[in-house]
Amino acid sequence: MCGRFTLTTPAVELERRFLVDLQDRHVPRYNVAPGQEVLAVVEAGGKRQPTRLRWGFVPSWAKDAKPGPINARAETAATRPMFRQALRRRRCLILADGFYEWMQRERGRQPVLFRLRDGAPFALAGLYERWDGPGGPLWTCCVLTTRPNALVAQVHDRMPVILRPGWEAAWLDPQVPPEQLAPAWEPYPATAMVAYPVSTRVNSPRYDDPACVAPVAPPLPLPEAGGGDERA
């Protein structure tokens, strides 16, 4: 599962990394929560376009705009009526530079922040959809998840699909069928990531500031080399 994430990278770096023009509309986010808007990249007319999507997937046929699933399992999305068409035609990049998961401790749940070892931003594999209501169109999204790598497995049994840069163009291209994208949702290499406990203030979406990402304990130990999730 992926229920919170961060996007603190400056706009100019995001523009360079994802080949989009944000027009200074990005502000750092330290605790993005379901129901909030996320920064995403979609393909329109063969070009990349930045957009804002509400996190919580609402299919076009839904009776109301009540926020739906925030995640979809990559392995089964193609067979789920809710996600099937979006997986085929409406894939997006959800921009992030970290995500949170919670580990169970004696004194309660402890949030852990996962990031890339080099601190770079990355694209989460997303699906998006349009819902038409009395107030006009509503665009929503969800994050695909996959089995965890050895680092994330210490905390949770699922992790978000982090796309390798070489897969991003194919993920956006609606001409690429989903069956050709299965390698894209292999778990991101554990050795390319770091994880450390952070403040429990992350538990509340009211808090969205640098204190959310500050370490409060040493990093989680790295898994031993040689695991099956170490493919680049």
Distance between CA atoms of residues 6 and 77, nearest Å: 24
Which secondary structure element, helix H or strand E, spans residue 51, and what is its range? strand 47-55
Alpha carbons 169 and 163: distance in angstroms, whole number: 10
Which entry of 101, 129, 168, 186 is annotated as an active-site residue?
101
Q: What are phi and psi of 192, to 5 degrees?
A: -95, 5
Q: CB 177: neighbour CB atoms within 10 A? A: 10
Q: Which residues pair with 41 in a beta bridge?
A: 50, 93
2 part of the active site: yes
The answer to whether residues 135 and 178 touch, using CB atoms and an 8 Å cutoff, is no
Please list the residues that pair with 137 across neighbouring strands.
132
Active site residues: 2, 101
